[in-house]
Structure 1
Amino acid sequence: MRVMKWSVIALAVAAGTSQMAVASEQSESKGFVEDSTLSLLARSMYYNRDARNGASRGAKDNGYSEEWGASARAIYESGFTQGTVGFGVNAYAGALWQLDTGGGRRGLGMFPENEGKDLSIANAAVKARFSSTTLTYGSQMPALPVLAYDDGRLLPETFEGTMITSKEIEGLELNAGRFTAQNAMNQSGRDSYSDGVLKSINVAGGSYAFTKDFSAALYYSDLEDHYKRKYANLNYNLPLTEEQALGFDFNIYKSDYDNKFNGGGDNTIWSLQAKYSVGAHAFILAHQRNTGDRGFDYGVGDGGGAIFVANSFLSDFNQEDERSWQASYELDFATYGVPGLSFKTAYIWADNIKTGESNDGKEHEFFNQVKYTVQNGPAKDLSFRLRGSVLRANSDVNDQNVADTNEVRFYVNYPLSVL
């Protein structure tokens, strides 16, 4: 359930290449304290989901859930000690509070599952760096296509394990890791994901920027007792004029599921997105398609954000044999004198969903989002984001209790950079 940012990988690679120095990262270390950062984030979130026709879709018995809460988090990242090998630590602490969710309206995953109202969590990681290669062990928030934490509620999902990140070659980032625990967004205990325990997941891959406008990525993961998965991405941006550009983003996952995971099978899901930008406006067209013996599964063991495809909104349009199309529009109001204000609307429609013995399933979604970030003054960087979806499907899909849903989410985020 990821509203896809325009080429997450390409933007990260481009940022890395534009700032890459000839000297190694460790040789430029100023010290453990001198390079430290401490960031705070206060968040309030209201979440309303009405699963029509009694559908379950994560809601309580009557299909209606409504939750409102607040949270605060602190993330500390030390610098590295100077020398050939530098050492440092990362630390994370968070707390959430229930503001209103009475009358049997729980069921959206914002609060502890034991019906408690509040929660606090703290964890840490140690790290070592040689040249421009960093080894991190402990609690982490990975953001890879095959292992990506979810931050769609009050507190982020975290993983426990080891990750190596190397940036020795300009434009190239390599990642390899092994994680053995997945910590849910609404729980404080280690390995607290309610739908299953992560035994282990191994990940490897990387991304490379051939030019500032063309990048590629390849990743592999092995989620124990679940699947082996391959991922590839190509992203190309074609500047047309100073005010116009045409971009293409292609993503594909190939998954081979273990027989222990709902009987096994395989799935291939791919999406191709084209985006035409002109001044404050952007127009997007996308097509996404599933093939194989089953739909695309993610979230248990690999994170709620591990679906880097174009048509991931409220529905991920990831069911067996499903084909979906997207038409969307984005507007940046800075051109019209309101910097910080943006709007996105999208319509996604799908057919050919396998339901029983037929491929007659259909669904469609209408998505809208508006966001505003305060640009200056004492409330600088305070942001408000309102998003809503209306999802509908025909009777073949609704019989499986996965569609016909109205949803509203409202976020207020206030970040502070202390160090």
Structure 2
Amino acid sequence: MPRLPTLTLLLCGLPLLATAEEKAPEGFIEGSSLKLINRNFYFNRDFRSRGDGLFNGRQQSYREEWAQGFQGFYSSGYTAGTVGVGLDAHALLGVKLDSGGGTAGTNLLPLDSRNHAEDDYSAAGAALKLRAFDTELKLGDLFPVTPVFQRGDGRLLPQSFRGVSLENRSIDGLTLQGGHLHAARNKASSNHDGEMSTEYGGTAYESASYFGGDYSAPDGTLLSLYQARYEDVWNQTYLSLAHSFTLDDDSALALGANLYRTRDQGSARAGEIDTDSWSAYARLSIGAHSFMLAHQRIDGDQPFDYLGDGDSIYLANSVLYSDFNSPNERSWQVRYDLDLAAFGVPGLSLMTRYLRGTGIDNSRVDPNGAYAYYARLGDGGRHWERDVEVKYVVQNGPAKDLSIAVQQTIHRANAAQADGDVDQVRIITQYPLDIF
């Protein structure tokens, strides 16, 4: 069995806090569910002819693809007894609708040896699950969701991992999670290749472990604390605190902040890492309108890095294109949301935001390490991004929950910022169906 961190093993004792009568067995078949997600994804990304290869060896300036994805998720109930046994299974299929030989590479579809998109790809897997009182253990193919290790789901099909996980809900409002993962299947892939890597450094590691929890207090305060270890790469701690204040019947104020503390670990395959990354936000909601202001800082001579192909970055200024996570970067965001239900169109919403990052200093990045491409950029980096999204969700009828989102992004940067100039458009249609 894979090695688990000591803190994770403590979860095994938490069922003692609960009693057997608290949760009646639901039955293996009676508790089963099957969900299908149909996702249609069009992605157009224009790097504005910047083919200098500074960011992860990028050479191709224009990418455009259209694909259809089908996701099926089955979850059984549990057998009767003190320890219930169950099964989770999934099947995924991605189909190319359009992708020319010179425009592939959006990560919607896998590429062949000629860098052309494959016509289709698929994956399937399962996880055995055991439940005792309020603790659930899963072993097999997993879709973890935590701030320090989270599967990516920003393309056609979601990323998955192989390993073991534990979750406990013995205390009201508190969810504890732990896991140990040893293999990855990335979003545009059919296979678990046995190797995981970091997003910006591309540093490979053999396993990762995480442990932590989320607490929702009765007064609406939310607190999260997690710890992760990517073997021979880094130790990472995450802390967040948020609270919402009701101002009157039609308005509310939400405040929140989070922090990542990342330090190199073991043989330090990505080189020396000594980075503190934090963000804070304030969101004012008045009727159909919402206004947000956020600030983010990267304190360190390396970029803030996270799980390769994944979504384990909860910083406020990680948005549609840029993460605003360069060495020593300071960034601001202003955002506006409008819910058009108040104007007679329920399900229709609008979002727009503007972000600006400055103070980027790449001059102290190790020129021989995992982030060497930053070292070539020097000091004085700055950039901005503007995002607009229009989204409609069908509210009732046979197509209930069908959603259509149109996202447009413009990003501009000077020569000392790694992301470059980009225009992109995404059109995402998603239709979830609960079969049973």
TM-score, L = length of structure 2? 0.86
Task: Supply the AA of the counterpart residue of 2:26.
Answer: K
Counterpart selection for 1:201 from 194, 205, 208: 208
Contact kept, 8 Å, 1:289 with 1:322, in 2: the verdict is: yes
Following the alignment from structure 1 to structure 2, what is the Cα–Cα distance between the partners of residues 334 and 24?
45
Q: CA deviation at 1:112?
A: 1.4
The CA deviation string for residues 204-251 of structure 1, in whole angstroms up to 9 with x for no partner, is 010112224101010000001221100001010011111110001111
Q: CA deviation at 1:24?
A: 6.4
The CA deviation string for residues 97-117 of structure 1, in whole angstroms up to 9 with x for no partner, is 111111311111111132422
Structure-2 change in CA distance of 1:190 and 1:197 (3 Å): farther
Counterpart selection for 1:32 from 28, 48, 60: 28
Tell me the residue number matched to 2:126.
124
The CA deviation string for residues 290-313 of structure 1, in whole angstroms up to 9 with x for no partner, is 00121101132xx52000011011
Counterpart selection for 1:93 from 91, 94, 106: 91
Tell me the residue number matched to 1:177.
179
Q: CA deviation at 1:170?
A: 0.7
Following the alignment from structure 1 to structure 2, what is the Cα–Cα distance between the partners of residues 256 and 197?
16
**SS of the residue aligned with 1:148?**
coil
Tell me the residue number matched to 2:273.
265
Indicate whether 1:415 and 2:411 are aligned: no
Task: Supply the AA of the counterpart residue of 2:429.
Answer: V
Contact kept, 8 Å, 2:301 with 2:361, in 1: the verdict is: no
Contact kept, 8 Å, 2:379 with 2:416, in 1: the verdict is: no
Following the alignment from structure 2 to structure 1, what is the Cα–Cα distance between the partners of residues 150 and 56?
21
Contact kept, 8 Å, 2:164 with 2:180, in 1: the verdict is: yes
Contact kept, 8 Å, 1:290 with 1:318, in 2: the verdict is: yes
Structure-2 change in CA distance of 1:24 and 1:143 (3 Å): farther
Tell me the residue number matched to 1:351.
358
Following the alignment from structure 2 to structure 1, what is the Cα–Cα distance between the partners of residues 159 and 48?
28
Structure-2 change in CA distance of 1:25 and 1:355 (3 Å): farther
Structure-2 change in CA distance of 1:366 and 1:25 (3 Å): farther
Contact kept, 8 Å, 1:26 with 1:129, in 2: the verdict is: no
Task: Supply the AA of the counterpart residue of 2:74.
Answer: Y
**SS of the residue aligned with 1:138?**
strand
Following the alignment from structure 2 to structure 1, what is the Cα–Cα distance between the partners of residues 229 and 212?
12
**SS of the residue aligned with 1:90?**
strand
Structure-2 change in CA distance of 1:348 and 1:25 (3 Å): farther
Task: Supply the AA of the counterpart residue of 1:414.
Answer: Y
Following the alignment from structure 2 to structure 1, what is the Cα–Cα distance between the partners of residues 21 and 280?
35
**SS of the residue aligned with 1:395?**
coil
Indicate whether 1:71 and 2:69 are aligned: yes
Structure-2 change in CA distance of 1:197 and 1:365 (3 Å): same
Following the alignment from structure 1 to structure 2, what is the Cα–Cα distance between the partners of residues 25 and 250?
39
Tell me the residue number matched to 1:107.
105
Following the alignment from structure 2 to structure 1, what is the Cα–Cα distance between the partners of residues 300 and 106?
30
Following the alignment from structure 2 to structure 1, what is the Cα–Cα distance between the partners of residues 49 and 211?
43
Contact kept, 8 Å, 2:20 with 2:82, in 1: the verdict is: no
The CA deviation string for residues 296-338 of structure 1, in whole angstroms up to 9 with x for no partner, is 01132xx520000110111000000000000000011111111
Indicate whether 1:229 and 2:236 are aligned: yes
Structure-2 change in CA distance of 1:58 and 1:405 (3 Å): farther
Following the alignment from structure 1 to structure 2, what is the Cα–Cα distance between the partners of residues 47 and 24?
50
Tell me the residue number matched to 1:305.
311
Indicate whether 1:51 and 2:47 are aligned: yes
Contact kept, 8 Å, 1:85 with 1:130, in 2: the verdict is: yes
Q: CA deviation at 1:121?
A: 0.8
Which region of structure 1 is more displaced relative to structure 2, 24-33 or 314-323?
24-33
Q: CA deviation at 1:59?
A: 9.2
Following the alignment from structure 1 to structure 2, what is the Cα–Cα distance between the partners of residues 323 and 241?
34
**SS of the residue aligned with 2:248?**
coil
Any residues of structure 2 matched to 1:374-393 within 5 Å, and which? 374-393=394-413
**SS of the residue aligned with 1:334?**
helix
**Which structure carries more relative contact order (alpha carbon 8 Å, separation 6+)?**
1
User: Identity percentage over the alignment?
Assistant: 38
Contact kept, 8 Å, 1:26 with 1:130, in 2: the verdict is: no
Contact kept, 8 Å, 2:294 with 2:332, in 1: the verdict is: yes
Q: What is the alpha-carbon root mean square deviation over aligned residues? A: 1.9
Counterpart selection for 2:222 from 179, 201, 215: 215
Q: CA deviation at 1:29?
A: 2.3
Tell me the residue number matched to 1:322.
329
Task: Supply the AA of the counterpart residue of 2:96.
Answer: Q
Specify every segment of 5 or more residues in structure 1 that has no aligned partner in the other structure, as ranges.
Answer: 1-21
Tell me the residue number matched to 1:135.
137
Task: Supply the AA of the counterpart residue of 2:164.
Answer: T
**SS of the residue aligned with 2:217?**
strand
Tell me the residue number matched to 1:372.
392
Specify every segment of 5 or more residues in structure 2 that has no aligned partner in the other structure, as ranges.
Answer: 1-17, 365-377
Structure-2 change in CA distance of 1:24 and 1:144 (3 Å): farther
Following the alignment from structure 1 to structure 2, what is the Cα–Cα distance between the partners of residues 113 and 249?
40
**SS of the residue aligned with 1:225?**
coil
Structure-2 change in CA distance of 1:58 and 1:359 (3 Å): closer
Structure-2 change in CA distance of 1:24 and 1:325 (3 Å): farther
**SS of the residue aligned with 1:335?**
helix
TM-score, L = length of structure 1? 0.90
Which region of structure 1 is more displaced relative to structure 2, 199-208 or 45-54?
45-54
Following the alignment from structure 1 to structure 2, what is the Cα–Cα distance between the partners of residues 126 and 363?
46
Contact kept, 8 Å, 1:59 with 1:107, in 2: the verdict is: no
Q: CA deviation at 1:263?
A: 2.0
Contact kept, 8 Å, 2:225 with 2:240, in 1: the verdict is: yes
**SS of the residue aligned with 2:216?**
strand
Structure-2 change in CA distance of 1:272 and 1:130 (3 Å): same
Contact kept, 8 Å, 1:26 with 1:86, in 2: the verdict is: no
Tell me the residue number matched to 1:41.
37
Following the alignment from structure 1 to structure 2, what is the Cα–Cα distance between the partners of residues 27 and 248?
35
